[in-house]
Homo-oligomer: A and B are copies of this chain.
């Protein structure tokens, strides 16, 4: 096609590759979500519907980008881990960060009515995103540990804060009451004054949401038959929602679940076998070893 004499301006688009062989974490954050949650009357301190919507948007991202192998969400933020050797968009920084935040946002608006059918969306919400490079497994684990520790700290505070407010304090008074308190103090306050056992609250609130692929059970793979072709289809809304974990209704149901199911032995799991597994949301401890030992392909 004919080129115009203005074409030279393309030379100003400079390359922005991320270093090869490193883990990429893309974190998206809600812009102005304090106001947004007020405008849409989100429940305090946690609104399960809004969190489920975030989880579904995250699933949409992971469903589209196979190299996103893990995601962790809390409140209005979500972090996506791309596998160490991903070649997605030739590791171009802007392309990766913008495509992920755009799809996440799109899914958030698109699926809104699934979880908040009676709350009309008043204006288009948005998120920002950034990519951070981590060189080794250690920093990746510490990154997710950081986010989960943050979830705990924020949620304990918010739970105590809203208990005080719902108990009659103004927000200013509640803030003052909590000033200088540590975790133990807040736990005690909740238990003694409001009869809330913090540890019995839903794991989703205390631990955040982890989105990960469930490795296919060993038994389903018949070594004599050829591997079934992976159908690269666009997941429909129904698909994505159908497999959305709803075990949250009983507090700690997930953790209880975990104890019952036989734990896969890490050593037998082959690299990336999890790649084609079903997407699930779990509310587990991501700080301890168990989570990672069960999913060794995450840190390859």
A contacts, CB < 8 Å to B: 1-2, 4, 6-15, 17, 19-22, 28, 31, 60, 93-95, 97-99, 101-111, 121, 123-136, 139, 142-143, 145-146, 149-150, 153, 157, 182-183, 234, 236-237
| A99: contacting residue among B103, B121, B126, CB under 8 A | B126
Instruction: Output the nearest chain B residue to A237 by Cβ-Cβ distance.
Output: B123
Residues of chain B with a CB closer than 8 A to A128's CB: 94-95, 98-99, 102
Q: Are A107 and B131 in contact (CB under 8 A)?
A: no
Q: Are B14 and A17 in contact (CB under 8 A)?
A: yes
Q: Are A110 and B121 in contact (CB under 8 A)?
A: yes
* A47 to B: closest C-beta gap in Å: 19
Instruction: Output the nearest chain B residue to A104 by Cβ-Cβ distance.
Output: B102
* A78 to B: closest C-beta gap in Å: 12
| A9: contacting residue among B17, B146, B237, CB under 8 A | B146
Rounded to whole angstroms, the CA-CA distance of A182 and B99 in the bound complex is 35
Known: A15-B15, A17-B14. A98 touches B150 (CB 8 A): no
Kindly report how many copies of this chain are found in the complex they form together.
4
Could you pull out 24 A-B pairs where Cβ atoms are within 8 angstroms? A1-B153, A1-B157, A2-B182, A4-B146, A4-B149, A6-B142, A6-B143, A6-B145, A9-B139, A12-B21, A12-B132, A14-B19, A15-B15, A21-B135, A60-B124, A94-B128, A94-B130, A97-B98, A98-B98, A99-B126, A102-B126, A103-B124, A109-B110, A135-B136
Rounded to whole angstroms, the CA-CA distance of A109 and B107 in the bound complex is 9
Q: Are B22 and A135 in contact (CB under 8 A)?
A: yes
Q: Are A19 and B126 in contact (CB under 8 A)?
A: no
